[in-house]
A = this chain, B = another copy of it.
């Protein structure tokens, strides 16, 4: 049987994730990796002890553990997203939430709007459904509102996918006004907002983080969150809170997909949240990552000012760099890897790649030590300068 007979054309078109390919290198002990969006495991708390593990052993409900759903509903409500417990679906990390939403609303006749650049696994999830992605440019305050209006009119998309807080990969954070403007526009056009908010608790400066969903009056919405960036990604627990017309479909597809999310992980997250330790844990994470962010910013300022374009993110895990003209990010990555430093080329974060995408790098500062961050940026600066000399 030929491959074309065996797997669908959609499946054949799937690109392997470059993050995944690069993560192979990141597992080599002598490689200093700024590639993946991994939290620092030195700051992961121990699992809480459960009162009863038996409660996690039998089949559970597709929606998730009721106690955890209530906690998530409370968290969302505190953020301004008014979703009752019935609007909460627990998922295997927010990646699954993204995939479930994608399967619910997208097919090969659909168009979806995203930021440019955007989260590469979101691109993959949308493309796996056969949807066409149209990218909308951003300025310093978030997605350009006029460009968004034009794209809504021209493309009649099924949905708009946004990461307003410490966006992956670009690191930007939407202004309060832009959030309100986007909500008003989506209400006017009655288009679904898919809002992805995994980094919000990793906030290092005083910025507005109000979910855009919370400003919507009538448009349908799906708000996604995750415990992976702040607790234990290996447990794979995330969630989606969605508007009432959408949630029954998400639950049905969740059921067909894998029946339900593993209960032991849900119970552990739930117990930890109930322990009251989370706020203090987040303070520690914020202090830790803020220091790393600052070290990175200082080292960048020392070695790369006037050479690369970048801004200092107010939260999250990433610096997004634009390289000097005619310096290829793929070549920089290969050369840096030869010197045992791993960073990601930016091309994979563009849904519709063009040659000009070969100008970006994503650097994650969350997992490596401050000394290693300094070392990595120095190596990278050397590589970039050397390539500029060749031009």
Chain A interface residues toward B at CB < 8 A: 1, 3, 5-12, 14, 16-17, 20, 36, 38-39, 41, 44, 46-47, 53-54, 56-60, 62, 91-93, 95-96, 99, 103-107, 110, 121, 124-125, 128, 158, 190-192, 219-220, 228, 232-237, 245-246, 249, 252-253, 255-265, 268
In the complex, the answer to whether A258 meets B59 with C-beta atoms within 8 Å is no
Given A20-B255, A128-B256, A256-B128: A234 and B11 within 8 A (CB)? no
A128 CA to B106 CA, complexed, in Å = 12
Expressed in whole angstroms, the Cα–Cα distance for A246 and B107 within the complex equals: 23
Cβ–Cβ < 8 Å partners of A3 in chain B: 245
**With A and B bound together, what is the CA distance between A259 and B289 in angstroms?**
24
Determine if B6 and A258 form an interchain contact, defined as CB atoms under 8 angstroms apart.
no
Question: What would 15 A/B residue contacts be, using CB atoms closer than 8 Å?
Answer: A5-B158, A11-B104, A11-B252, A38-B59, A57-B232, A58-B232, A58-B233, A93-B259, A95-B256, A95-B257, A124-B256, A234-B263, A235-B263, A236-B258, A265-B265
Q: Which of B56, B106, B265 contacts A8 (CB 8 A)?
A: B106
Q: By the criterion CB–CB under 8 Å, are A235 and B262 in contact?
A: yes
Nearest CB of B to A230, in Å: 12
Residues from chain B with a CB closer than 8 A to the CB of A228 are 59
Nearest residue in B to A99 (C-beta to C-beta)?
A: B257
Q: A103-B128, A106-B8 are in contact. Are A264 and B14 (CB under 8 A)?
A: no
Tell me how far the C-beta of A192 lies from the nearest C-beta in chain B, rounded to whole angstroms: 6
Is the pair B20, A57 in contact by a Cβ cutoff of 8 Å? Answer: no
Contact A57 B234, CB 8 Å, known A1-B190, A6-B246, A14-B249:
yes
Among A106, A236, A260, A265: residue with most chain B CB under 10 A: A236
Beyond A234-B264, A263-B234, whether A105 also contacts B57 by CB under 8 A is no
Q: Of A236, A257, A265, which is in contact with the most chain B CB atoms at under 10 Å from its CB?
A: A257
Please state if A7 and B105 are interface contacts (CB–CB under 8 Å): yes
A235 proximity list for chain B (CB < 8 A): 56-57, 262-264
CB distance from A137 to the nearest CB of B (A): 25
Chain B residues within an 8 Å CB radius of A6: 105, 158, 192, 220, 245-246
Nearest-neighbor residue (CB-CB) of A367 within chain B: B58
> Is there contact, CB below 8 Å, between B56 and A46?
no
Known: A10-B107, A235-B262, A246-B6. A256 touches B125 (CB 8 A): yes
Q: Are A107 and B258 in touch, CB under 8 angstroms? A: no
A17 contacts B59, CB within 8 Å? no
Closest chain-B Cβ to A12's Cβ sits at a distance in Å of 8
Partner of A95, one of B8, B107, B249, B259: B259
B57 touches A233 (CB 8 A): yes
- Please, how many angstroms separate the alpha-carbon atoms of A261 and B95 in the complex? 12
Closest Cβ–Cβ distance, residue A82 to chain B (whole Å)? 18
Determine if A103 and B1 form an interchain contact, defined as CB atoms under 8 angstroms apart. Answer: no
Q: Are B233 and A261 in contact (CB under 8 A)?
A: no
A17/B121 in contact, CB under 8 A? no
Knowing A57-B41, A59-B36, A220-B6, the reply to whether A258 touches B1 (Cβ < 8 A) is no
Q: How far is the CA of A3 from the CA of B105 in the complex (A)?
A: 10
A103→B259 CA distance, assembly (Å): 16
**Complex CA distance for A3 and B220, rounded to whole angstroms:** 10
Residue of B nearest to A257 (CB): B99
